[in-house]
Chain A
Amino acid sequence: MIAFVFLFFVVLTLASAVFVLVSRNVLYSAFGLMVTFLGMSALYVFAGADFLAITQIMVYVGGILVLLVFGVMLTRKKESKSTGLPSRILTEHRRTFWGVLVAGALFAVLSTVLSRARFQRVEAGHYEPIARKTTIHDLGTGLMTDYVFPFELAGILLLIALIGAAYLASTTNKTQG
């Protein structure tokens, strides 16, 4: 039963990712990407990462995707408003052959490597999948003890990114100071 649910989410994630790839309408791509991110968070739950699944929904769907849709809105061309057509923001495809070729070759290499790889210590049962009720307690303890330096560094990085993005996107003329 759980395998069927897992397969459903895998198919959902992959199908919406392919839809993002083939769709020419940028907004349709954005909404397809939302389904992909939700499916990914379901896969995180299957891998036993409940806190990461919630973080995925909050950061990707609630933050990054909204930011991308804002980017789509702000980079509309002016002349598309004047025509009577419904304003669709389209993206063209170029080098379709090379894109499919490179991606297909990469997937062929990766799947060959993965099918030949023997994760011996995993498969020989040295490590069993650990059944946890929740990872929140371990993650919180780890972030405040072992990983406190990268945690604080991530805070500084986010502050720098915030200031840099606000500075880069500002409309004032920078040559005048």
Chain B
Amino acid sequence: MILPLSYFLLTAALLFSIGLAMVIVKRNAIVVLMGVELMLNAANLNLVAFSRFDPSLTGQFFGLFVIIVAAAEVSVALAIVLQVFRHFNTVQIDEVQSMQEK
């Protein structure tokens, strides 16, 4: 039995929307990062679902590199969040506004 492609695509679309809602709604910078990871994962699911039909597995290679870039991104982003926490003593992203004009 073959699962239809649209199941994967709809699941990925829902996950992407949930990740976007997390990025917009949450105030904690780490939870915003979790939302970004969820969006990357949802995009990856699309690539993998399409590569089922591809004899050369291009989608899966792309997904592999997406995972690598996500790992690099989250490590640098967490280092920046740590530095922001040391400087402002908060990770609530809308309290960090000293670059804003007073």
Contact = CB atoms under 8 A, between A and B. Distances in A.
Interface in A21-58: 21, 26, 29-30, 33, 36-37, 40, 43-44, 46-49, 51-52, 55-56
A110 B68 contact: no
Interface string B65-87: 10111111111101111110110
A21 B18 contact: yes
A129 B37 contact: no
Nearest to A102: B24
A133 interface: no
A129 B55 CA distance: 9
Chain A interface bracket (under 10, 10 to 19, 20 to 34, 35 or more): 35 or more
Contacts of A68: 30, 33-34, 74, 78
Contacts of A72: 30
B72 to A, nearest CB: 4
B1 A3 contact: yes
Main SS at interface, chain B: helix
B53 A122 contact: yes
B78 A36 contact: no
Nearest to A127: B53
Contacts of A160: 72
Contact of B11 (A10, A33, A75, A150): A10
Interface string B27-65: 110110110011001001100110111111100110111
A8 B37 CA distance: 22
A68 B32 CA distance: 11
18 contacts: A21-B18, A21-B22, A29-B31, A33-B38, A47-B45, A74-B85, A75-B82, A89-B28, A93-B25, A98-B24, A99-B22, A103-B17, A103-B21, A107-B17, A114-B6, A135-B60, A154-B65, A168-B79
Interface of A: 2-3, 6, 10, 13-14, 17-18, 20-21, 26, 29-30, 33, 36-37, 40, 43-44, 46-49, 51-52, 55-56, 59-60, 63-64, 67-68, 70-72, 74-75, 77, 89, 91-96, 98-100, 102-104, 106-107, 110-111, 114-115, 119, 122, 127-130, 135, 138-139, 142-143, 147, 150, 154, 157-158, 160-162, 164-169, 171
Interface of B: 1-3, 5-11, 13-22, 24-28, 30-31, 33-34, 37-38, 41, 44-45, 48-49, 51-57, 60-61, 63-65, 67-76, 78-83, 85-86, 89-92, 94
